Structure 1
Amino acid sequence: MKTQNFSNPNFPRSEDLNWGAAGRFDKVLVANRGEIACRIIKTCRRMGIQTVAVYSDADANSRHVRLADEAVRIGPAPARESYLLISRIIDAARSSGAQAVHPGYGFLSENEAFAWACIEAGKVFIGPSVAAIRAMGSKSDAKALMENAAVPLTPGYHGANQDVAFLREQADLIGYPVLIKASAGGGGKGIRRVDASGEFEAALMSCKREAAASFGDDRVLVEKYLLQPRHIEVQVFGDSYGNVVHLFERDCSVQRRHQKVLEEAPAPGMTDERREAMGRAACAAARAVGYVGAGTVEFIVGPDGTFYFMEMNTRLQVEHAVTEMITGLDLVEWQLRVAAGDVLPLRQEQLAIRGHSIEARIYAEDTDKNFLPSVGRLIHLMPPPESAHVRVDTGIEQGDEITSYYDPMIAKLIVWDESREQALQRMVAALAQYQVVGVASNIDFLSRLVTCTSFVKAELDTSLIERERDALWREQSVPTSTVLLAALAHLLYERREILPAAGDDIHSPWRHLDGWRLNGVLKRRLTLLHGDFEFFVDAEYSRTSYCMTLNEHRYMVSGELTSDGVTLAWIDGERVRATVFKHNKALYIFADNCCCAFTPVDPLEYLVKASSDGGGLLAPMPGRVVALLVKPGEMVTKGTPLLVLEAMKMEHAVIAPEDGFVIAFRFATGEQVSDGSQLVDFERSL
């Protein structure tokens, strides 16, 4: 993982910056996990600072624990019993002798009680002041503060009255569509779009439940939802001496469920005048609260370029890497030095944009199932190689497990080049090299996303994914003949293994599975399944190669297996290189810039298609039941939400698959369910 693009001579080096002599910390506790914890630990190591990791039982063998100089257990797997327990983290800071605490992002990073607890314990909180966190921690209070600072605001209700009828009345006055947002929210959680008054109450209740679960605070605000807006944010930085600068903007418009999917810097189409205006407004927002450290001021931007303040995140953002790539600066180092009392090393006029950077978030999720998070062990994980142009920030390694307790991010993939077009080409190539087996991932979806018309042309707004739905969710494609033949080559050459039963006679014809026959030639039909497709290939064996017939076309195929799981196949004399990984009965082929999973069919086995034996509805993933939406015995129509599961701090509705009756619920509100548990006894109507 690279934290600075030192290989590019156009970028500044940390040692050349005018940091002064305020000193630094000797030991820092990292109060987080995953990618951001690894990121902080690596920067601290480069600066000669020792680190202390904290971990839950689920993270005992995780990458951030392995990277740190010390590690302290803070509790069981659920975040409420570990990473969100202030007392446990403060105890870890005291026992380890850490001088400072870096909260990363998420968890307690914007929690004023945590910042105050660090100060009371004599530890430096690497972030803004308690007063700044309090001022910006409530979106409603922040709006009032920004109004006084003359920062433009989105029309809406940001007050304290949380009565359901009153909030619906405010929404009616604002005019639909509106956005309900958790006052203490962030990360796309606790947000609901409402298009009509009749939908308001159900959306409000769902939003409040999710906000309470994620932030311990169910207060909301209601704002006008701008159609086809862009989401542009400005990175700001302040020190203890009143200096504030902005490090330019990031475009985070490409979103789903109000969570960012792609980010890039600088924002395409940004004029110098608008950049200056947005930067000036962002710095005014920071100065209004005496801001110290890294922060992000988020704006919603209309099609005409008019921008409105949304919120200020008083922490480092997930997407800070693209800012680092276009400035060459290590923002984590800036945080550490500013927290130690140093002055910002650069003035606004000394900061400059160089090139273009794009970031894609690699998630364990099934995009064909409405982005349902995927849990399981990463049995094969191969990211693209890092360079001056490609960076991979991750807290996950091969063999690690994605659990239902935390965010399912696998990594952030960041690319940089001289222009947006070149950076986009880098991203396409890097995604094609990314290999994941063991959980579903969004890599193929991201590959389609970065090559869709709207993104390539930089026609960006928060509805881009929905607008490009036909291109992004096209029907399952048929694998190319090259990929299919590479899979068969691997399968057949793998079966040429030596048989132990043949004894010690190395000349025995029974020792090899190469299709040798005393008289004649072995011909065999092979069957592979790929999703809904079934492929039949006739293979004619010879000593060193195969003649394969696919769709009435004959191919001469030969090959070899290598120790690193690569199949080298020659198809009609043309060489094909494919990475192959086997898991259970499936064969995963990475070739032709795509991944295809095949299941070989054993002709001696019967294929039994799974079926339901009573109309039971199964849990799509581990989680907790947070709401039962209908009553036992009630008749419902297809698509009716029956119950709500909470997993990874997000809510997932389980819906009726067809018209029918809810006979009974198997779990009560508040109970945990495992993946595949039967949730509802359901009977279809005749």
Structure 2
Amino acid sequence: MPPAANAGPAPALQSYLNIDAIIDAVKKTGARAVHPGYGFLSENAGFVDRLNEEGIIFVGPPASAIRALGDKVESKRIAKQAGLNIIPGFIGEIQDEPHALQVAAEIGYPVMIKASAGGGGKGMRIAWNESELKQEVIMAKAEAMSAFGNDTLLIEKFVEQARHIEFQVVGDHFGHMVYLPERDCSVQRRNQKVIEESPSPFISAEVRAAMGAQAVRLASAVGYNSTGTVEFVVDKHSNFYFLEMNTRLQVEHPVTEAVSGLDLVHLMLAIASNQRLDVTQERAAAINGAAVEARVYAEDPSRNFAPSPGLLKVYREPEGPGIRVDSGVVEGSEISIYYDPMVAKVVTSGATRNQALARMESALDRFVVRGVTTNMPHVRSCIANPDFKAGHYDTSFIPKYYGGPDGLNPLAFPLTEHQQQDMFAAAVFTHVNRARRYDPKYLAGEDDVARLTLSWRDVHGNKLVPLDVVVRLAGLQMVGREGVAAGALEIQLPSRVAYVYSMRQPPGVVGKQAYNTYLRHMMVDGKPITVQVAKFIPRGVIMQYLGAQRELYIESPAAAALSQHMPAKSKASSHRVVRSPMTGTLVEVLVQHGSEVRLGDDLVVIEAMKMRNAIKADREGFVDEVFAKQGDVVSADQPLLKFW
């Protein structure tokens, strides 16, 4: 392992955004070059200047290109001069709130507010009216300053029903510049990418060539030499507009590597070493198969994607052909409140889009994380969505399919009736197998029958739906020798008979990661499925299949009948208490004892994982007591204040 050096305290402004601290770390380790990664100082021209002064190589573009293109305001001016299509908006910095209101009124709502120096969704907000604009400008400025040390903003028209499509460009020091296959990054939450794929299932070859040519034209205009990404927004008629350029390597670069066969980090290092880029435009643009990336975040979608820091008690990555997992954690690692909540990137590739998606489904089904809440169930559900599979999606995909009060709760994620019965059959099989291990005589003979009741609770948790189930051993003629040897069962559900047996691992999966105690690999009616035990609960279990979860109870009919009459466990009344939805730092407390509050007013602001989150009032009233103060680190569900 290469030597490591402590860059400073956890807050980014004191460490990873502290140029002196980074330079000191470089000198301590004896490094001759710095690869800046994805964020922090990766697009900071002042950092590049300092490295040049110290005689240290920066693995990236020159400071002049970063200044020109890394600033979103200046990049729009350059793009317009270079003949690129530009989104309507004000090409300049927003001076203050009155200026923001004036610009938005001229452009027309909705508008997008952006941090000029930023990326990754930080300092980015949508305002649909004047009232929202006033609030979002304040939040965006604070978020941008925290993440990038620069609170300059710009405002542009928000394009609805848009696709977010970007092009990787690579250029050397000798004027040779090429574009690579595009990435479609339209599935987003909070303006941050969640799923990316290449090539886009939406654009035509003609549009691809035109967009790629504009990307090269922009980068060439500033003498760019390294990898970079030119981002476009594309409307439903395939009209495309320049969005911004990221003068660094992107998080999602493995997708491009998979379809192009080019190692982008290797190219960055070669170019930084003053080598020529020995790749023709024809070779660079060639598309070989398809690839998909899913970002795994430590966050809780059911709490509006609130960060979920904590300890990774269980961490098991999937393995298999065409599966790549990039991560910087292991079992036992801590997900900190100070940095981005990304845990890992799952990248799958195949000869076709369908094969890449099938491998992604298998990988997410077998990826087990416990100790923190992640977005994996949600991402898995997105991948299974018929419109996503058909390539019919845009940046409104998540709000469209997962909107509403319970839309982001895994217990509400959709399953077809047949898929839900597959899950029920798998749960019954698991229950019966456990009983047979404890009692060898249980369901041991061909004529033995087990009668059970499977009950499942709806998303609101206020009622149980009971189903009568009959179980017996499956015959040779139905499941074959393999099934009989694996203890196959015939499970009679109210509307279907399922034949189920266990597999040690899914077909085509090998290695030590193929099986663990949190997974159940089964053959249901000749189809292999994988379910996860998401959580054990009193008298039952929460099972997960295709990302969707269901709260299940499997009991004897007599026990189930009694359960129907048992009162639900009452919860202490807390309707007057406002609790923190996440772990983070309380950066603003906007109310005090006696404050009058209206519905929707901001109460406090919590910063977690480089994002600022305003906690709003869900009622009108007066504040009785405030339990925390500015600067406190609060945990999820910690009481913050209460109303009279």
The alignment's TM-score, normalised by the length of structure 1, stands at: 0.76
Q: CA separation of 1:593/1:187 partners in 2, compared to 1, >3 Å: closer, same or farther?
A: closer
1:346 to 279, 282, 295: 279
SS in 2 for 1:188: coil
Name the structure 2 match of 1:621.
582
| Change in 2 beyond 3 A, CA 1:588/1:460 | closer
For residues 94-142 of structure 1, the C-alpha deviation after alignment (integer angstroms, 9 at most, x for no partner) is 1111111111101221122222222222221111111111212221111
Q: Is residue 198 from structure 1 mapped to residue 131 from structure 2 by the alignment?
A: yes
Residue deviations 1:490-513 (CA, integer Å, cap 9, x gap):
6646767xxxxxxxxxxxxxxx99
Which sits farther off after the overlay, 645-654 or 79-88?
79-88
Secondary structure in structure 2 of the residue aligned to 1:248? coil
- The aligned counterpart of 2:615 is 654
**Counterpart residue type for residue 385 of structure 1:** E
Which runs of no fewer than 5 residues in structure 1 stay unpaired?
Answer: 1-67, 497-511, 516-521
Q: In the TM superposition, what is the alpha-carbon distance from 1:540 to its structure 2 partner? A: 13
The one of 229, 239, 253 aligned to 1:320: 253
Match of 2:637 in 1: 676
Aligned to 1:125: 58
Q: Aligned in 2, Cα 1:396/1:597: closer, same or farther, shift over 3 Å?
A: farther
Deviation string for 1:175-201 (max 9, x for gaps)?
A: 111111111110011111112223321
- Judged with a 3 Å threshold, the aligned counterparts in structure 2 of structure 1 residues 101 and 596 are, in CA distance, closer, same or farther, namely farther
Which of 302, 305, 308 in structure 2 is aligned with 1:368?
A: 302
Distance 2:277 2:502 in 1: 59
Distance (Å, rounded) in 1 between the aligned partners of 2:554 and 2:314: 20
The 3-state SS of whatever aligns with 1:70 is coil
CA shift in 2, pair 1:490/1:120, >3 Å? farther
> Does residue 407 of structure 2 align to residue 485 of structure 1?
no
Task: Answer yes or no: is 1:439 the counterpart of 2:372.
Answer: yes
State how far apart, in whole Å, the 2-side matches of 1:309 and 1:299 are.
Answer: 5
Q: Does 1:384 align with 2:345?
A: no
Of residues 275, 293, 300 in structure 1, which corresponds to 2:226? 293
Give the secondary-structure state (helix, strand or coil) at the position aligned to 1:312.
strand
* Paired residues of 1:391 and 1:413 also in contact (CA < 8 A): yes
Given that residues 254 and 262 in structure 1 are in contact (C-alpha distance below 8 angstroms), is that contact kept between their aligned partners in structure 2?
yes
- Per the alignment, residue 227 of structure 1 pairs with 160
Letter in 1 for 2:425: T
The CA distance in 1 between the partners of 2:237 and 2:414, in whole Å, is 39
| Alpha-carbon distance, 1:367 to partner | 1.7
Letter in 1 for 2:280: R
Does the residue aligned with 2:392 lie in a helix, a strand or coil? coil
Asked whether the equivalents of residues 641 and 656 of structure 1 are also in contact (C-alpha less than 8 Å), the reply is: yes
For residues 279-678 of structure 1, the aligned pairs below 5 Å read 279-351=212-284, 352-387=286-321, 389-469=322-402, 473=408, 475=412, 480=421, 481-489=424-432, 492=435, 532=461, 534=464, 564-565=516-517, 589=543, 608-612=569-573, 615-630=576-591, 632-678=593-639
Please give the alpha-carbon distance, in whole angstroms, between the structure 2 residues aligned to 1:236 and 1:321: 14
- Within a 5 Å distance, the mapping from 1:113-192 to structure 2 comes to 113-192=46-125
Whether the 8 Å contact between 1:490 and 1:580 is mirrored in structure 2 is: no
- Report the Cα distance in structure 2 between the residues aligned to 1:103 and 1:584, rounded to whole angstroms: 45
Looking at structure 1, the residues matched to 183 and 121 of structure 2 have their Cα atoms a distance apart, in angstroms, of 17
Cα distance, 1:537 vs structure 2: 9.8
Count of equivalent residues: 595
Q: Is the 8 A contact 2:456 2:551 kept in 1?
A: no
Q: Secondary structure at the match of 1:72?
A: coil
Q: Comparing 662-671 with 287-296, which one deviates more in the overlay?
A: 662-671
Letter in 2 for 1:156: G
Decide whether the 8 Å contact of 1:490 with 1:561 is kept in 2.
no
Secondary structure of the residue aligned to 2:330 is: coil
Q: Is the 8 A contact 2:308 2:583 kept in 1?
A: no
Partners of 1:657 and 1:173 in 2: CA distance: 33
CA offset at residue 419 of structure 1?
Answer: 2.5
Q: State the distance in 2 between where 1:567 and 1:279 align.
A: 45
Call closer, same or farther: CA 1:554–1:118 in 2, change over 3 Å: same
Change in CA separation of 1:525 and 1:353 when aligned onto 2, cut-off 3 Å? closer
Change (3 A) 1:540 1:318: closer
Q: CA deviation at 1:539?
A: 12
Choose 570-579 or 88-97, whichever is displaced more.
Answer: 570-579
Q: Structure 1, residues 557-601: CA drift from partner, whole Å, max 9, x if none?
A: 999999942679999999998665877978565668866566999
Q: Which amino acid aligns with 1:404?
A: I
Q: Secondary structure at the match of 2:6?
A: strand
- In structure 1, distance between residues paired with 2:388 and 2:211: 23
Q: In 2 relative to 1, CA 116–489 (structure 1 residues): closer, same or farther, beyond 3 Å? A: farther
RMSD over equivalenced CA pairs, Å: 4.0
Which stretch of structure 1 is more off in the superposition, 433-442 or 610-619?
610-619
What's the offset of the Cα at 1:304?
Answer: 2.4
Residue 640 to residue 320, structure 1, CA distance change in 2 (3 Å): same
Amino acid at match of 2:298: A
SS state at 2:4 partner? strand
- TM-score, normalised relative to structure 2: 0.81
- What is the CA-CA distance between 1:266 and the residue it aligns to? 1.4
1:465 Cα shift? 2.0
Change (3 A) 1:598 1:638: farther
Deviation at 1:257, TM superposition (A): 1.3
Distance 1:312 1:418, change over 3 A: same
Cα distance in structure 2, aligned partners of 1:165 and 1:576: 57
What is the identity, as a one-letter code, of the residue corresponding to 1:117?
A: R
| Cα distance in 2 between the residues matched to 1:294 and 1:162 | 32
Q: Distance in 1 between matches of 2:530 and 2:392?
A: 36
1:31-70: CA deviations, max 9, x gaps? Answer: xxxxxxxxxxxxxxxxxxxxxxxxxxxxxxxxxxxxx433
Q: Matches of 1:297 and 1:559 in 2, distance apart? A: 48
- The code of the aligned residue for 1:340 comes to S
Alignment partner of 1:76 is 2:9: yes
Deviation at 1:556, TM superposition (A): 12
Measured in 1, the distance between the counterparts of 2:264 and 2:458 equals 45
Partner of 1:60: none
**AA matched with 1:380:** V
Query: Match of 1:253, SS?
Result: strand
In structure 2, the residue matched to 1:33 is: none
Instruction: Please state how far the C-alpha of 1:325 moved relative to its aligned partner.
Output: 0.8
Do the aligned partners of 1:157 and 1:170 also contact (CA within 8 Å) in 2? yes
SS at match of 2:169: strand
Displacement, 1:523?
12
CA 1:546–1:226 in structure 2 vs 1: closer, same or farther (change >3 Å)?
Answer: closer
**Residue range with higher mean Cα deviation, 346-355 or 73-82:** 73-82
Matched with 2:140 is: 207
Deviations 1:358-381 (A, max 9, x none): 211122222222112222222233
Deviation sequence 1:467-490 (CA, Å, 0-9, x none): 333696583679643243245346
